[in-house]
Amino acid sequence: MIVVDDALLLAILAEQQGAAEAFLITAAEAGEVFTTGSWFWRLARVVARPGRGALSRALAASSEDEQRRVHNALDQLPAEIGLLSMRRLVPVMAALPGQLNLLTAEAVAAAVVLGARIAVSTASPLLAAAASSVDVGIDVVDFGS
Amino acid sequence: MAISTGDLRAAAERARAAASEAGELRPARIGKVTTDIPEAIRAAIREDLASGAYQKAAQDAVAGDPDLAQG
């Protein structure tokens, strides 16, 4: 089981076919991928906010119908991606050692409950330390590979 | 009050049991993830993920919200 961050969730939703994403696609097909509400929320914030990247430019150049299709695809988490509710996670988050922010506590608690590893696109010292303290493994996926 | 490993283990076991009973330890559906995203947008997403532009946009989108910082 793998708990993925917002960037990796985006790669799965956009059906990216690169070498870096191959194991994620395979894992998702096998029902082995979860994300968290915080990471899903981060992705929604990025999509809702015009930026300067290629995605923003491509969306701006798209028809209304294409824009609607993209927002529908990214706003509705597919049933093939798991998401544990705060009803389950908050007691575990409260028992984690240290002072953690919401994103970190939710991710580590989800991994603990699922017996999962965490996969992220960017190394995070805070997340790495929190995960290590409870023996949760972290994989950093390099999209440039 | 300090949190012990035993407290964490007990909380995790309770959460796992409740999630299992509710069928939440697996996604609701098993199979290939498919979405209706046009190819031009998929290419743009690929570019933003590879260049780090997505990750930068995510940092900017949650700036000032320490609970969503992946620091």
Give the gap in angstroms from C-alpha A61 to the nearest C-alpha of chain B: 10
Q: Residue A17's pLDDT is what?
A: 79
Cβ-defined contact of B49 to A16 (cutoff 8 Å) = yes
Tokens 């949650």 sit at which residue? B62
Which domains occur in chain A, in start order? 2-140 (3.40.50.1010)
Q: Residue A16's pLDDT is what?
A: 84
Q: Residue A37's pLDDT is what?
A: 97
Mutate to test the interface with B, among A140, A142, A143 (most CBs of B within 10 A): A143
What ipTM was assigned to the predicted interfaces of this complex? Answer: 0.91
Give residue limits of the domains in chain B.
Answer: 32-65
B39: contact with A, CB 8 A cutoff: no
Q: Residue B31's pLDDT is what?
A: 93
Burial class (CB in 10 A: 0-12, 13-18, 19+), A36: buried
**Among candidates A128, A68, A47, which has minimal Cα distance to B58?**
A47
* Type of residue numbered A32: E
Rounded-to-integer distance, Cα B41 and Cα A114, Å: 33
Give the gap in angstroms from C-alpha B22 to the nearest C-alpha of chain A: 11
Q: Does the structure show a pLDDT above 60 at B41?
A: yes
Give the gap in angstroms from C-alpha B1 to the nearest C-alpha of chain A: 11
List chain A pLDDT tens, one digit each, 145 residues.
999 999 999 999 998 878 778 889 999 999 999 999 999 999 999 988 877 789 989 988 999 999 999 989 888 999 999 999 999 999 999 999 999 999 999 999 999 999 999 999 999 999 999 999 999 999 999 886 5
Which pair of structure tokens corresponds to residue B35? 């979405």
Name the helix (H) or strand (E) containing B69.
none
- The CB density around residue A75, as the number of other CB atoms within 10 Å, is 12
For residue B13, which residues of chain A lie inside 8 Å, CB to CB?
none
For the whole model, what pTM was predicted? 0.94
